[in-house]
Amino acid sequence: MTIQLDGEMPVRDLVGRYPQTRPVFERHGIDYCCGGGKRLAEVAREHGLTLPALVDALNEALDAPAGKAEAAEKNWYTASLTALVQHIVEVHHGYLKTVLPRLRALLPVVLQAHQAEHGVVLRQVQDLFNALDSELSSHLMKEEQVLFPFIVASEAHRQKAAPQPSGPCGSVRYPIRQMEHEHDSAGQALARLREVTGGYALPADACPSFRAAYEELQRLEADLHQHIHLENNILFPRAIALEG
């Protein structure tokens, strides 16, 4: 695939249109969801990379055959907002509703087994996860019960298939602003989890449960990055534009 990459291109636009570039940003710890408005030159500088090296890695990802998931992914810039909301709820909210209880049960077991040798780190992991878990559980409920139904109803109204919905707080912008604030908080928690675990480096005496917990946390991180990207960088701007 041949596209012109330059330092002025926003990260969110590249990831949104070419999902196969996501692993490049993940590998270098570059935030493409909450910080997706930054440009390639800026994120390269912040992460100690040269712009040509980052562009080369991105071009390599663009030239590689797309994986099954990437090939099947819709163009969310042109799909209906209703379809995008359904995708987010079924795929990303569904995943969180499975993984959060799993980690809720697993992390205390790991802490109890390894507190003598690794208690300092694992207690921080437990506290950070507990805060993230609580915030996400409330966040999903607000999206599913308030914001998402309003976006879907607004699109139906624009298509003359439903009456004008009553807006939350007068405009969709207000709940979106709150959701973005909570996304920032979740992003900070993920970054802190990666920091305190040394990039999820396992100690030599890690048991299978310890390994499973770190692997699950890394999957949670990757999924949340993609989840927040779809909302912050595609769904929310399109919903605001729909409202006019």
**46-100 tens-digit pLDDT:** 999 999 999 999 999 888 876 555 555 789 999 999 999 999 999 999 999 999 9
d(CA 95, CA 93): 5
d(CA 93, CA 75): 20
Q: Output the six-digit token pair for 155.
A: 């699109």
**Gyration radius (Cα) of the chain, Å:** 20
**Helix (H) / strand (E) containing 196:** helix 173-196
Burial class (CB in 10 A: 0-12, 13-18, 19+), 146: middle
d(CA 86, CA 90): 6
First-last CA distance in the chain: 35
Considering the entire predicted model, what is its pTM? 0.85
- What is the residue extent of each domain of the chain? 11-72, 81-243
**177-199 tens-digit pLDDT:** 999 999 999 999 999 999 999 99
Closest alpha carbon to 233 in 86, 58, 14: 14
